[in-house]
Chain A
Amino acid sequence: MSRHLLGRRGLLAGGLGIGLAARRPVSAQQRLWRIMMITWRGWEDACQGFADYFSERNVPVELILRDAGQSAATVTRHVAEAKATRPDLVYLWGTTTAMVALGPYDAVDPAIHLADEIPAVFNIVTEPVWNKIVPSLERPSRRATGTLYITAMEQQLATLATYRPFRSMGITYSPIEGNSRAVVELLGQEAKRTGFELIDRPVPLDDAGKPIAAALPGKVAEIARAGAEWLYIAPDSFLNGNKLPLTQAALDAGLPSFTSTEPYILQAHALFGLVSRYYAVGQFTAFKAEQILNGVEPATIPVEPLARFSLIVNVQTAKRLEFYPPLSLLRFAETV
């Protein structure tokens, strides 16, 4: 772990060195970079980390904020504006935002997508390869790169087993979201590989094709009745909008819940998580943005996760479930 950190620090120093010495020694300092930030559901910790990175390092940037209000059509409108005003970089928050703004790498439509006209960085994106945002994490091969905020599924499940080994797990999600479908597919593969039962209960859709929020508690109870030992919370925008009802339902059903993203555990009642702190992910994304601004080709900058993840236990939930973490886990875990 510490070697990774050192490596990253070296990378930071290297990036700085290139920026100051080799590329544009004077102009890099004096020029004001214009960055358009397209967000999905407003300003949050990752955006703050991104902005703070530049101010802490005295890199002059003008941040042009554009929120999509969870609407794909709005994202497309913001993209059009970017193409017209030509900022130095576009920042994309969230899986849907990135998918709509960039388009699948093998079916780019120059009419609606950024189409390599302006470089872009993305963060808080789930499975960028599965979602066709980039063909490969090591070489994005288009004018866009970004960061990962979720650890590999295998690692998540191994961490979960340190809390308590399990034989069955339930998941509920919005079937219309690409993120969730990707996660369910990966979970299914892991279930087959390591031999646990996956209880898959998607939320029903209404006539408009939207998931029905009111059905959520019932689905969770159904999962508990089917014998699930854990509830896996997918990084899903629909679920994110219903954090409290979802985790409260799990609590009511006596079902411990695991998450790979921070909000469920910090702002709701999820029990246990292996998460990247959004703020740190935002900073790391800003580091990649700075590389691009200093002239490094985004196509060659790998899409990477942070070297450090946090184990978080929600002790209040543990107490209410009377489902306590083992002592070895408490040595390392943060508690809220």
Chain B
Amino acid sequence: MIAQGSKPSAADRAPAVAGGGESAALILLVVAVLVLTTLYVANRALDAFNRELLPLMDREAEAVSSSIAATIERALALGIPADRLVEVDPFLDEFRRQLPSLGYVALLDGKGSLMHGVGPELPAFEAMLAAGRVLRPDLALVRAQPDPDSDLAGRSISTSLEGIRDTAWPIVVPGQEALVLHIGSSSRAYDAQIADVQWDIWIVLLVSVLATYEVLIFLLARSAEAPMTLLGRAVDRVARGDWTRTVAVIGSDESRQVLRTFNLAVRTVNEAFARLTWKAEEIAREGREAAERIGREISALTERHRFAPGRLVRMTALPGAAMARTPLFIFVLAEQLPTSFMPLYAGSLHSPFSWLDPAVAIGLPLSAFVVAVAVATPFGGWWVGRIGSRNVFLLGAVPAVLGHVLAGLAADLTMLIGARVIAAIGYALVTIACQHHFVQVGNAGRQAGTLAVFVLAVVTGTICGMAIGAVVADRLGFTNTFMAAAGLVAVAALLAAWALPADGDAAPARPAAAGGSAWLLALRAPRFLAIVILAAIPAKIALNGMVYYLAPLYLAQAEVTLPAIGRTIMMYSIGMLVAIRAGAWLADRRRLYLVPMALMGLLPAAGVLLLPWQDPATGILIAVTALGIGHGLGSAPMLAAVPALCPGPDGRRQAALLLGFLRSAERIGSMLGPMIGATLLATTGPTGAALWLGLIPGAAAILLVLAGWLLPGRGLVPAVDGGRR
């Protein structure tokens, strides 16, 4: 009984903490190696891209030159004098527009003076011409002399002039003045493409680092942390004199060796005790005194130590929070892959709802998904209570896979909506299963911590999925991206089957809070209702209307590439990730609720007000990021405000009821978001819709602040009332 009463929980955790330090170092090392190699490969890829660019530009310039020259030669051959050619500038401009890389197209006479020219870089060309830096026409014309009737290829001469690649093409027709066509390709037109490639590389890098981190945590947890934690628990028992347990041999080779050695030690001690007992019996037969003495010694030993020779019990590893973290991360990543193009995909399908405005029809799959999640979640919660997280996760993966496959194969909008509803059921089941697992494995005092792990897995999965989904869709198309999502869900399910405890953590579901009483409670709490109506619902309307619905449509219309759309909407999650700790700090430490909640509405409003002065890509990027930061700041204080609003002995139960009510109200906002966005898009156009979607939470925030001032009592949320939570 030596160790009895000492601090078992600290001892329990000790090896894990040590392992944690080492894992941090290991993760850091792996991530550093990954970052460096990706940077190196990215650098080489861009080098190769640039090397390919010059010959490509020359080939394009040559092709355009030959087309232009062919028509001019025809005109000259028909006997139209060179100085009487009609509408040369519009003709040259037609070609220049076809190839955005063309800085100028110019026609020079045989003496080298400019006859016609178009393009933004024309003044630069004229300056070079005046400075005598352009290829002399006689030199260009020499190329054309030997055999003017031969194949056109090879007639051009390309030279690099101050960042412009000039291609000179001689035009020689017998009996007419010789002309030289000059075409200037500027690599600046490719800058955007290069920037896109660079961005794609950064996104891939970010996603690989985050994914590697998640997978490493999982592997470390399974191969090192879990065996060490198990050993720690076993050693702790031994320290308390309990020699009755061996441990399950789990983890990597080294861990298994350590655990085997421990088991060997336990068995050796137990065998020694068995031999001792046997010897004691032998000795006891020799006389009463000896028997009593040996009996005293043995009982002194068994008082401090317990043995179980021949009846050793095997200890198994406790389920860790990390075990569900990686499957959840992969699942959420898969679910978010189509986010950046879902409205575009919906818009590309035939809508059988001819009576609906197309903009509204496009929003239907988004709203249907939210509604289905809302309906399926309580059912999922009940089911987890009966059959355990692992089984619900696995069962939820089936509709999720099916939903993605069907969405990818959708022939029309109805089928896509059906597919999204099926996927939503899967999403609801899997997320509730993971949430339940985290709650169950978290020690009583660490529930908040494990739930933070849940939120973190969802947010990182969202960031990775949104960003990489757009890149994948840009390369492989929409359907293949849905198939990739289905594949990833299957991987997540396999991991969950392998990692989540099979014995089940089923626990009777808590008695569901009666909806009616939540309603009554909410209706009797005007402050709470103000938060729901003026903060929670507008926030979700803005999120679903702007980020999930409008941004992809608006940006695609402004001819922004799909990867750039993915990056833009990813900024919501990044903004949220950056701000969420600040929001929690404001609520926890400064007891500030109203200010961050108001910022949650005012920031997106400020973001959209900048829209008219920006190009669409930048404008939406700013608006989406502002929305993310606003939500990051406001969401924790909003949740924290609810318990703060429920003083009194029954506060905890009331807070739980009201939080449930808040969640349901948020889902209504989520469902309304795409519909409101669609209606605004149909009536006011994309810029107007974006403006309104930002101004709705902004206006609501102002009303919330007014409500805070006007409601009798101590403001919207009582500032005091510490300690309760």
| Residues from chain B with Cβ under 8 Å of A319 in the complex | 79-80
Known: A319-B79, A335-B78. A327 touches B85 (CB 8 A): yes
Task: Report Cα–Cα, A326/B94, bound state, in Å.
Answer: 13
Give the shortest distance, in Å, between B73 (CB) and chain A (any CB). 10
Known: A315-B78, A319-B79, A335-B78. A326 touches B87 (CB 8 A): yes
Which residue of the partner chain, among B74, B86, B90, B94, contacts A324 with CB atoms under 8 Å? B86
Which residue of the partner chain, among B74, B84, B90, contacts A328 with CB atoms under 8 Å? B90
| Residues from chain A with Cβ under 8 Å of B84 in the complex | 322, 324
A:310-325 near B, CB below 8 Å = 315, 318-319, 322, 324-325
Q: Are B87 and A327 in contact (CB under 8 A)?
A: yes
Decide yes or no whether B447 CB sits under 8 A from chain A.
no
Bin chain B's interface residue count.
Answer: 10 to 19
Decide yes or no whether B308 CB sits under 8 A from chain A.
no
Give the shortest distance, in Å, between A310 (CB) and chain B (any CB). 16
| Residues from chain A with Cβ under 8 Å of B79 in the complex | 315, 319
Decide yes or no whether B75 CB sits under 8 A from chain A.
yes
Q: Are B71 and A330 in contact (CB under 8 A)?
A: yes
Decide yes or no whether A331 CB sits under 8 A from chain B.
yes
B:56-88 near A, CB below 8 Å = 71-72, 74-75, 78-80, 84-88
Task: Report Cα–Cα, A322/B85, bound state, in Å.
Answer: 11
Q: Are A328 and B87 in contact (CB under 8 A)?
A: yes
| Residues from chain B with Cβ under 8 Å of A318 in the complex | 80
Decide yes or no whether B379 CB sits under 8 A from chain A.
no
Give the shortest distance, in Å, between B118 (CB) and chain A (any CB). 12
Decide yes or no whether B91 CB sits under 8 A from chain A.
yes
Q: Are B91 and A327 in contact (CB under 8 A)?
A: yes
Task: Report Cα–Cα, A330/B94, bound state, in Å.
Answer: 14
Task: Report Cα–Cα, A159/B79, bound state, in Å.
Answer: 23
- A162, closest chain B residue (CB): B87
Q: Are B86 and A325 in contact (CB under 8 A)?
A: yes
Task: Report Cα–Cα, A335/B75, bound state, in Å.
Answer: 10
Give the shortest distance, in Å, between A323 (CB) and chain B (any CB). 9
- A333, closest chain B residue (CB): B74
Give the shortest distance, in Å, between A325 (CB) and chain B (any CB). 7
Give the shortest distance, in Å, between B209 (CB) and chain A (any CB). 50
A:292-325 near B, CB below 8 Å = 315, 318-319, 322, 324-325
Task: Report Cα–Cα, A315/B76, bound state, in Å.
Answer: 11
| Residues from chain B with Cβ under 8 Å of A315 in the complex | 78-80
Q: Are B71 and A324 in contact (CB under 8 A)?
A: no
- B81, closest chain A residue (CB): A324
Q: Are B87 and A330 in contact (CB under 8 A)?
A: no
| Residues from chain B with Cβ under 8 Å of A330 in the complex | 71, 74-75, 78
Q: Are B78 and A327 in contact (CB under 8 A)?
A: no
- B88, closest chain A residue (CB): A327
- A315, closest chain B residue (CB): B78
| Residues from chain A with Cβ under 8 Å of B75 in the complex | 324, 327, 330
- A316, closest chain B residue (CB): B79
Task: Report Cα–Cα, A318/B71, bound state, in Å.
Answer: 17
| Residues from chain B with Cβ under 8 Å of A335 in the complex | 78
Bin chain A's interface residue count.
Answer: 10 to 19
Task: Report Cα–Cα, A325/B78, bound state, in Å.
Answer: 11
Q: Are B74 and A326 in contact (CB under 8 A)?
A: no
- A323, closest chain B residue (CB): B86
Task: Report Cα–Cα, A324/B80, bound state, in Å.
Answer: 7
- A332, closest chain B residue (CB): B71
Q: Are B91 and A326 in contact (CB under 8 A)?
A: yes
**Interface flags, B85-121, vs A, CB<8A=1, else 0:** 1111011001000000000000000000000000000
| Residues from chain A with Cβ under 8 Å of B86 in the complex | 324-327
Give the shortest distance, in Å, between A322 (CB) and chain B (any CB). 7
Q: Are A331 and B71 in contact (CB under 8 A)?
A: yes
Q: Are A324 and B85 in contact (CB under 8 A)?
A: yes
| Residues from chain B with Cβ under 8 Å of A327 in the complex | 71-72, 75, 85-88, 91
- A325, closest chain B residue (CB): B86
| Residues from chain A with Cβ under 8 Å of B90 in the complex | 326, 328
Task: Report Cα–Cα, A82/B75, bound state, in Å.
Answer: 52
| Residues from chain A with Cβ under 8 Å of B87 in the complex | 326-328
Give the shortest distance, in Å, between A23 (CB) and chain B (any CB). 37
Task: Report Cα–Cα, A315/B85, bound state, in Å.
Answer: 13
Task: Report Cα–Cα, A70/B295, bound state, in Å.
Answer: 145
Task: Report Cα–Cα, A319/B75, bound state, in Å.
Answer: 11
Give the shortest distance, in Å, between A76 (CB) and chain B (any CB). 48
Give the shortest distance, in Å, between B129 (CB) and chain A (any CB). 22
Give the shortest distance, in Å, between A311 (CB) and chain B (any CB). 14
Task: Report Cα–Cα, A330/B79, bound state, in Å.
Answer: 13
Task: Report Cα–Cα, A324/B88, bound state, in Å.
Answer: 12
Task: Report Cα–Cα, A335/B78, bound state, in Å.
Answer: 8
- B94, closest chain A residue (CB): A328
Give the shortest distance, in Å, between A332 (CB) and chain B (any CB). 10
Give the shortest distance, in Å, between B96 (CB) and chain A (any CB). 13
- B89, closest chain A residue (CB): A327
Q: Are B91 and A328 in contact (CB under 8 A)?
A: yes
B:109-165 near A, CB below 8 Å = none
Task: Report Cα–Cα, A130/B94, bound state, in Å.
Answer: 40
- B78, closest chain A residue (CB): A315
| Residues from chain B with Cβ under 8 Å of A322 in the complex | 84
- B85, closest chain A residue (CB): A327
Task: Report Cα–Cα, A326/B90, bound state, in Å.
Answer: 9
Task: Report Cα–Cα, A326/B86, bound state, in Å.
Answer: 4
Give the shortest distance, in Å, between A134 (CB) and chain B (any CB). 35
- A335, closest chain B residue (CB): B78
Task: Report Cα–Cα, A319/B90, bound state, in Å.
Answer: 22
| Residues from chain A with Cβ under 8 Å of B71 in the complex | 327, 330-331
Task: Report Cα–Cα, A217/B88, bound state, in Å.
Answer: 35
Task: Report Cα–Cα, A319/B84, bound state, in Å.
Answer: 10
- B67, closest chain A residue (CB): A331
B:565-602 near A, CB below 8 Å = none
Task: Report Cα–Cα, A319/B85, bound state, in Å.
Answer: 12
- A331, closest chain B residue (CB): B71
Task: Report Cα–Cα, A335/B87, bound state, in Å.
Answer: 18
Task: Report Cα–Cα, A278/B86, bound state, in Å.
Answer: 30
Task: Report Cα–Cα, A326/B89, bound state, in Å.
Answer: 10
Task: Report Cα–Cα, A318/B85, bound state, in Å.
Answer: 12
| Residues from chain A with Cβ under 8 Å of B85 in the complex | 324, 327
Task: Report Cα–Cα, A324/B87, bound state, in Å.
Answer: 10
Among B72, B86, B94, the most chain A Cβ lie within 10 Å of the Cβ of B86
| Residues from chain B with Cβ under 8 Å of A326 in the complex | 86-87, 90-91
Task: Report Cα–Cα, A326/B116, bound state, in Å.
Answer: 14
Task: Report Cα–Cα, A156/B69, bound state, in Å.
Answer: 28
| Residues from chain B with Cβ under 8 Å of A328 in the complex | 87, 90-91, 94
Task: Report Cα–Cα, A184/B91, bound state, in Å.
Answer: 33
Task: Report Cα–Cα, A315/B72, bound state, in Å.
Answer: 15
| Residues from chain A with Cβ under 8 Å of B72 in the complex | 327
Among A318, A319, A322, A327, the most chain B Cβ lie within 10 Å of the Cβ of A327
- B68, closest chain A residue (CB): A327
**Interface flags, A106-127, vs B, CB<8A=1, else 0:** 0000000000000000000000
Give the shortest distance, in Å, between A234 (CB) and chain B (any CB). 27
Give the shortest distance, in Å, between A164 (CB) and chain B (any CB). 8
Task: Report Cα–Cα, A325/B91, bound state, in Å.
Answer: 12
- A164, closest chain B residue (CB): B86
Task: Report Cα–Cα, A327/B68, bound state, in Å.
Answer: 9
Among A318, A319, A331, the most chain B Cβ lie within 10 Å of the Cβ of A331
| Residues from chain B with Cβ under 8 Å of A324 in the complex | 75, 80, 84-86
Taking A318-B80, A324-B75, A335-B78 as given, write out 11 further A-B residue pairs in contact, using a Cβ cutoff of 8 Å, ordered by the A residue number. Answer: A319-B80, A322-B84, A325-B86, A326-B90, A327-B71, A327-B75, A327-B88, A327-B91, A328-B90, A328-B91, A330-B74
Please, could you name 21 A-B residue pairs with CB atoms under 8 Å apart, sorted by A? A315-B78, A318-B80, A319-B79, A319-B80, A324-B75, A324-B80, A324-B85, A326-B87, A326-B91, A327-B85, A327-B86, A327-B88, A327-B91, A328-B87, A328-B91, A328-B94, A330-B71, A330-B75, A330-B78, A331-B91, A335-B78
Query: Which residues of B are interface residues toward A (Cβ below 8 A)?
Result: 71-72, 74-75, 78-80, 84-88, 90-91, 94
Q: Which 7 A-B pairs rank lowest in CB-CB distance, beginning with the nearest? A: A326-B87, A327-B91, A326-B86, A315-B78, A328-B91, A324-B80, A324-B86
